[in-house]
Chain A
Amino acid sequence: MGRYLAQRVGQALLVLAATFTLAFLLLQALPGDAVLIKFLELGLTPEQLADIRIAYGADAPLWQQYLHAMGAFLTGNFGYSIRAGVPVTQLLAENLPSTLLLSALAFAAASLLALVLALLATLGGQGWVRALVRSVPSLFIAIPVFWLGIMLIQVFSFQLGWISIISPEPWEELILPVATIAVPISAPLAQVLIRNIDAVLAEPFVTVARAKGASHAWVLRWHVARNALLPVLTMAGVLFGELLGGAVVTEAVFGLNGLGGLTQQAVANQDVAVLQAIVVISAAAFVAINLLVDLLYPVLDPRLARGRRTA
């Protein structure tokens, strides 16, 4: 177990370092003086500029800058935003919470939607109902997120007038964005769930359970649930990435403040430090999530638990 742990953590760190290097090279690839010129445009004094230069370590050789930047990142110093002229950390602190809230709500909604779809597709009523529900995830995946947001606004705000866009309540404001992110995210989740449930239902141990006299509900509760849900855990990292991407686009559509707006401005202004920080942080979150899943899995699946005696 110890060896596995060390190996797995080592791998995660390696990937993180590689991501950082990639992001760093991205910064270097852009003409550095152009960056500084932008600072001048912002009306910074030469003293402030000198501070920034030192903060960037722009005069040092490349490998020193690299090490310096890495050290700074490790201590939570992501540099300055060119556009806003404030530390990137401050921008993140302002924008991260709302995006996290939006993503968390969307994730909950997507999970619920996926579960309902999967249950309908595998156990729901007539054969044609199941067949119909099975084609829903493909449709959900095919819908562009931004377009879905626009359509929802059009239908629910303009046509039906259910949700105000002029002065919405705080909770009201979130309904459509959450739905917009949740729908496409639910699709791969539902597809995997359907596949897993189908596979588990075809397992001989389900036949054995039925031969014991178990009802459908019993089989679902005691045999299908855990076996079908466990593998879904391995999707967590990928879903997180999708969620973040969805949030970025959705915030743009609904004009919400958050990481999305920040990202967009960073790209539009070539504000590399901001984008670099966002990329490295989201990669770190991805790596951490996957690491957690890998470490958690053996606890949840007895087959992977080590140190047990094999008869």
Chain B
Amino acid sequence: MTARLLEVADLSILYDGRPVVQDVSFAIAPGEVLALVGESGSGKTTTAMAVLGLLPPNGRIARGAVRLDGTDIARWPERRLAALRGARLSLIPQDPVTSLNPVRSVGAQVAEVLRIHGERDGPGLRARVLELLERVGLEPAALRAGQYPHELSGGMRQRVLIAIAVALRPALIVADEPTSALDVTVQRRILDLLDELRRQDGTAVLLVTHDLGVAADRADRIVVLRDGRIQEAGPVRQVLAAPRSAYARQLLRDAPSLTTHRHRPAASGGDLAVQVRGLVQDFPGRDGAPFRAVDGVGFAVRQGTTHALVGESGSGKTTTARCVAGFLRPTAGEVLVGDTDVTALRGEALRHFRRQVQLVYQNPYASLDPRQTVARIVEEPLLNFEPVAKAERLRRVAAMTERVGLPGELLARHPRALSGGQRQRVAIARALILQPRVLVLDEAVSALDVTVQAQILALLEELQRGLGLTYLFVSHDLAVVRLIADTVTVMLAGRVEEAGPVEQVFQAPRSDYARELIEAIPGRAAPQTLESVP
């Protein structure tokens, strides 16, 4: 660690005068990968964008230096910085879908970085663009160059952005959550590609991620941020094996991908609470031909256990769950909840059935009416069935909110005045107030930070034990599934790829796809001494 490519020293950043990054210092050597790890609001992205001089208009660097090869560029004017960007420093952004201009072809957007830095239009430019597209695995390159972003998948778009970032062989690439919007298998391939390219070019990477597993796999060193301050920094192995700060320890304990032990007893068999047989769901397709989202799916869940539906986007897992919850009427097949066939229910019968099965949504903010107070939200289901006296309703609301760990003073608040975790607790309380037998959890913890996620998962465990609830747990995150589920169905393109007890599927997957999925869980490079973490 003699040569320092980038050195960030005592950096403090204000948004509208409010500090968001305080006294952050770290250095990156040529060819090194440094991971900035933290939860939302930790200042990790802000720090990374400050390196590029791309803070939003309301942000400014209050103190500190950003030295590139020893020269402080933190206060350089826009014009000088622009000359560095794309050439010496480059960016791989977070969301590939919105990060490409929708009305320009892929080739034009790759060519742009070359043109900005002086390359002339012509056959030479085109050849370089095609070469770059080939380098990131977009083939046939000539076809891809002529396509528009919406014609490419998310993973392919991220490859285009990587091609742009490596085009001029910069010394440092800032990769801001480069794969968090992608499916886990795609994530792995994209990170592999990035690894390969940076090794070839000797490029250093500043990797911003919320996922300790990704950091563990890909980085040389880690900087852990919280509320704009550094909590811990050091080589990956050291930080993961023996974290010194309390926060890093908590982060490690809560990160599902780094936890190998299960804290739940093996499933005890009750009666079958949910049975799905031969489920088929067609949607009207683009050109009249129906699109089959779910194709012959079947599984059964025992009372009091958790069954996980796992798959990547487009696997049909959410569609299946919505059929179980009675929000979709399947094209064919049976959904039995207890002895009731949900698919046969209409009108009032369906309305009364809803007491049995409740759905918890991925985005708690969208699933709570912004105009209602917490008390009103949790109370509402009680108004839909046989009258309950007001005093009794309020008593039940108070009891249920307390049960899910919401302090009483939050009852009068509106959803926007709650944190993400609190909102999800409200959604769970609303779902439970009718005392359902089955809870369908549709990516219910996916939008939450890991420490909050761990709290909600613990709450779900506790509620299941206390109330004998049955969970249908829909998730793309295998690490979480491994923690919470008893049985699992792995889905791909509307079909069941593999099913069985969680231990069995994870230890000895029989299908290629399940194996690929499991191997793609980040964090495999992490030291396996984690169970000793207190």
> Taking beta carbons and an 8 Å cutoff, which residues of A are in contact with B?
203-205, 207-216, 218, 222-223, 226-227, 230, 301-303, 308-311
Please tell me if the beta carbons of B164 and A204 are within 8 angstroms of each other in the complex: no
Is B100 close to A, CB under 8 A? yes
Please tell me if the beta carbons of A311 and B152 are within 8 angstroms of each other in the complex: yes
Please tell me if the beta carbons of A213 and B99 are within 8 angstroms of each other in the complex: no
Is B331 close to A, CB under 8 A? no
Please tell me if the beta carbons of A226 and B99 are within 8 angstroms of each other in the complex: no
Please tell me if the beta carbons of B82 and A213 are within 8 angstroms of each other in the complex: yes
Q: List 13 A-B contacts (CB under 8 A).
A: A208-B164, A210-B54, A211-B85, A211-B89, A211-B91, A211-B174, A212-B113, A213-B84, A213-B113, A214-B86, A301-B103, A303-B148, A310-B150
Note all chain A residues with C-beta closer than 8 A to B164.
208, 212
Partner of B150 from A203, A204, A303 at Cβ < 8 Å: A303
Note all chain B residues with C-beta closer than 8 A to A226.
103
**Nearest chain-B residue to A306 (Cβ)?**
B286
Is B192 close to A, CB under 8 A? no
**Given known contacts A204-B93, A205-B98, A303-B148, A213 and B83 CB-to-CB distance under 8 angstroms:** yes
Note all chain A residues with C-beta closer than 8 A to B86.
211-214
Q: How far is the CB of B43 from chain A (nearest CB, A)?
A: 17
Partner of A212 from B102, B112, B152 at Cβ < 8 Å: B112
Partner of B85 from A203, A210, A302, A310 at Cβ < 8 Å: A210
Note all chain A residues with C-beta closer than 8 A to B499.
none
Interface size on B, residues (CB 8 A): 38
Contact with A along B463-480 (1 / 0, CB 8 A): 000000000000000000
Is B318 close to A, CB under 8 A? no
Please tell me if the beta carbons of A209 and B101 are within 8 angstroms of each other in the complex: yes
Partner of B101 from A210, A211, A227 at Cβ < 8 Å: A227
Please tell me if the beta carbons of B54 and A310 are within 8 angstroms of each other in the complex: no
**Given known contacts A204-B95, A303-B103, A311-B147, A215 and B82 CB-to-CB distance under 8 angstroms:** yes
**Nearest chain-B residue to A211 (Cβ)?**
B91
When A and B form their complex, which 3 residue pairs have the shortest distance between CB atoms, in order from nearest?
Answer: A211-B91, A213-B86, A212-B86
Given A302-B102, A303-B148, 9 more A-B residue pairs with CB atoms under 8 Å apart are: A204-B93, A205-B102, A207-B91, A211-B54, A213-B116, A213-B117, A226-B103, A302-B148, A302-B150
**Nearest chain-A residue to B108 (Cβ)?**
A222
Partner of B90 from A204, A211, A309 at Cβ < 8 Å: A211
Note all chain B residues with C-beta closer than 8 A to A309.
151
Q: How far does the alpha carbon of A215 sit from the alpha carbon of B95 in the complex, in Å?
A: 22
**Nearest chain-A residue to B147 (Cβ)?**
A311
Residue from the set B95, B98, B153 with the largest chain A CB neighbour count within 10 Å:
B98
Note all chain B residues with C-beta closer than 8 A to A205.
98-102
Q: How far does the alpha carbon of A301 sit from the alpha carbon of B153 in the complex, in Å?
A: 19
Note all chain A residues with C-beta closer than 8 A to B52.
211
Partner of B151 from A212, A218, A222, A311 at Cβ < 8 Å: A311
Q: How far is the CB of B171 from chain A (nearest CB, A)?
A: 14
Is B187 close to A, CB under 8 A? no
Q: How far is the CB of A50 from chain B (nearest CB, A)?
A: 57
Q: How far does the alpha carbon of A301 sit from the alpha carbon of B458 in the complex, in Å?
A: 48
Note all chain A residues with C-beta closer than 8 A to B93.
204, 207-208, 211
Query: Which residues between 85 and 124 of chain B lie within 8 Å of chain A, taking CB atoms?
Result: 85-87, 89-91, 93-95, 98-105, 112-113, 116-117
